[in-house]
Structure 1
């Protein structure tokens, strides 16, 4: 035990030294090349690895807390890292399943990884019982690096708050704490397994046969290893490939969206990272949801208010938009909804002179701009949006990209098949 504490302390010191070297290089680059602050920060974060990459992604998905230029720059924060040798993967498996013969669990494991990101590497495998699975293995020192980095960030934030007491984005230490809570959950694969089970239970209770999530093999999963059913299918980013599997690609997208919208109302958390790599069209025609490491939590009434807000926008009913904006956020002030409605009218009149429906067919960059403007209007009136509101909106942007591929000539949001707010049987509700 003492040896482990000593080793962890040594790793922490080494990590702080590594951070200092990268920071020094960034300083030299700033002095010689004069890049923009946002670009330099993104490049530095990518050099520093997993914790800072996740921090960058948090910045990109939280426009209510960070300046626009940083939000936009960090949209491109890369999460791909070098592949680890298979010998490391074998070592982790042997350590996590100590006392058990790996040959009695896995019949085979592919040495070439399917994917390698900042926190984990994924390998295909086959169980001795014959099932095809994927094994998600945590990368070395992730937790130690995470805690060291976040402690440094927390210390830095405290100093910054003292040196610049009127810093625009106050409570930086609280923000770091929020990031820490999220990232600690992401590096605990037991938590991810619970998220998958929660989603699968929702599919079962609603008798949804058109979507699925991978089965988790709990006996072969730990905090650092997650063993799941392997899905075979195609990503939703290639129209021609999807067309070979489904006669109606737009129905595939409708299925994915309806399933996700239902989970907002009925699951303990919602999948907050459904990009192209995490949605698949399986060989049997079902839509497969994978990678539940990043999730958000949203009260059903907040989502209902979001839908009512968009509906009021389409009708250009700005007073109703103002009312629902209050329901979406939180405030400790008395809000004059008429003044808020006037501000919203000024904002959206400039964006949607032609047709209010354009809000739902703008390109993702425009939609992101609109959300940031809307959040800014809310802040001026003392309205604070839930932290996970940005994750919700980010997912809407992902769906926008899918629409352009799978249904380029269809107005999905006007499609009768789409159910953004679903009728819920109280007996089926998972939330309390």
Structure 2
């Protein structure tokens, strides 16, 4: 479907919402006294997003983490968004298998159950197979034409975002709608090309190998529209019924899942953006397998450090520190009220320290901080929406089978490894040499005195003594300041060098 045709289809659905509102206003006198118009409106919007397809479902799920953009009623409805549709007949998908895997695609499997898919979403359908080596597996097949449809939706939303940006400059000063959409597009791009999803799985599997009770399915074959992988053992955590005899095993699995995600957030800086209860499977021996790696978030080193500082500040019951770390995630706009935001966070953070998942929803806390920031004129990096969605889903999943896990305990167990990896990135021989040289060159002590001499020679005796002394005094002051900075830098470098030497000795 061409982009203009898709725009008409979207307009038809949105026009239906508008017509519904008109009818509701006309019939408000006959409305039952216990009716909730806001809830009815939110439900209608949710159904419209589900009708429009995967891109709008993902957009709604992101908005569920943005209390600064939509109401609490909308958020509660958007949290129920799901991308499940009536399955296509297998005959509609078989041409995709032939195109991607060849006419002899059946020879890759001992068997395939084409009667009933394991899952049917608007983007793809998944079928159970027996691999040629006898292992159980699944094949994920992209629906015909869905990639083009998604790209049409992205084109349309970009145009809408530009219009919104021009007409509401005060709003977009704090909430960069175009940047948020670009981030969503980048996050969803692997869902349109399964070879990229396979790459995400391979990278995640290497991280999972560091944890005894976390696994990622192996990739058997991948093309842009077909993905063949091993079967996840066990059942989705939404179907797990934990008993008292399983408590110790499930707690261990929960700790490892949280540890794996902490490693992903802070060390790898590439993380599963949608670890909802249907995407984490638990086996009988307590291994948690994380599936569906199409939607992955990525952040840079500065953002991961700021996020880690935010969580540490929360764990230390430091509201002011949490506020400063949050500001590092974005920027203060000209109308920003930093003092007010610090006050907001100082009232919020004491409610969280040392509490377990069963007692508090940290994903909700993250969105609360986002609401405070926007209200106070502090623009936040749009990746926080993806992080909020990821963390809220992770929390909800682990809560189902290990509700007594304390984030404080998990962070304490993983913090040392995360900090060691961060330090190893910042502090190595090459980095030390670069920092030292940049400091020496940037300090400019030698250059500063040479410029004084050159200036005096070039001007000769025609320059008045008082002018020379004045310039010399000013430059000497600057040189002293730079020298002090240099001394501090070298002291820091010396401490780091001692730390590296200590590490070598331990080895």
CA drift at 1:360: 5.5
CA distance in 1, matches of 2:271, 2:196: 13
Q: Are the aligned partners of 1:319 and 1:338 in contact in 2 as well (CA < 8 Å)?
A: no
CA drift at 1:136: 0.9
The residue number in structure 2 matching 1:213 is 216
The residue number in structure 2 matching 1:407 is 402
CA distance in 2, matches of 1:292, 1:225: 14
The residue number in structure 2 matching 1:324 is 325
TM-score relative to the length of structure 1: 0.81
The residue number in structure 1 matching 2:198 is 193
CA distance in 2, matches of 1:160, 1:309: 31
Q: Secondary structure at the match of 2:22?
A: helix
Distance 1:123 1:166, change over 3 A: same
Point out the more displaced range, 190-199 or 39-48. Answer: 39-48
Q: 2:141 aligns with which of 133, 137, 146?
A: 137
Counterparts of residues 268-307 of structure 1 (less than 5 Å)? 269-299=270-300, 302-307=303-308
Q: Count matched residues.
A: 411
The residue number in structure 2 matching 1:172 is 177
CA distance in 2, matches of 1:383, 1:306: 16
The residue number in structure 2 matching 1:50 is 54
State the superposition RMSD in angstroms: 3.5
CA drift at 1:275: 1.2
CA drift at 1:42: 2.1
Distance 1:44 1:421, change over 3 A: same
CA distance in 2, matches of 1:138, 1:303: 33
CA drift at 1:101: 0.9
The residue number in structure 1 matching 2:111 is 108
The residue number in structure 1 matching 2:379 is 384
The residue number in structure 2 matching 1:373 is 368
The residue number in structure 2 matching 1:91 is 95
Q: 2:9 aligns with which of 18, 36, 42?
A: 18
Counterparts of residues 175-254 of structure 1 (less than 5 Å)? 175-204=180-209, 206=210, 208-217=211-220, 220-238=221-239, 240=241, 248-254=249-255
CA drift at 1:268: 5.0
The residue number in structure 1 matching 2:437 is none
CA distance in 1, matches of 2:68, 2:296: 18
1:255 maps to 2:256: yes
The residue number in structure 1 matching 2:310 is 309
The residue number in structure 2 matching 1:5 is none
- Indicate the structure (1 or 2) with the bigger Cα radius of gyration: 2
The residue number in structure 1 matching 2:125 is 121
1:421 maps to 2:415: yes
CA drift at 1:225: 0.7
CA distance in 2, matches of 1:75, 1:196: 26
TM-score relative to the length of structure 2: 0.70
CA distance in 2, matches of 1:31, 1:347: 40
CA distance in 1, matches of 2:139, 2:193: 14
CA distance in 2, matches of 1:190, 1:259: 23
Q: Are the aligned partners of 1:239 and 1:249 in contact in 2 as well (CA < 8 Å)?
A: no
Q: Are the aligned partners of 2:50 and 2:56 in contact in 1 as well (CA < 8 Å)?
A: yes
Distance 1:362 1:417, change over 3 A: closer
Greater helix share, structure number: 2
Structure 2, gaps ≥5 residues long: 26-36, 432-507
Distance 1:14 1:381, change over 3 A: closer
Q: Which runs of 4+ in 1 moved over 6 A?
A: 242-246, 332-337, 427-432
Q: Are the aligned partners of 2:338 and 2:376 in contact in 1 as well (CA < 8 Å)?
A: no
Q: Deviations over 1:48-80 (max 9, x none)?
A: 222222221222234465555544431122211
CA distance in 2, matches of 1:24, 1:335: 37
Structure 1, gaps ≥5 residues long: 1-7
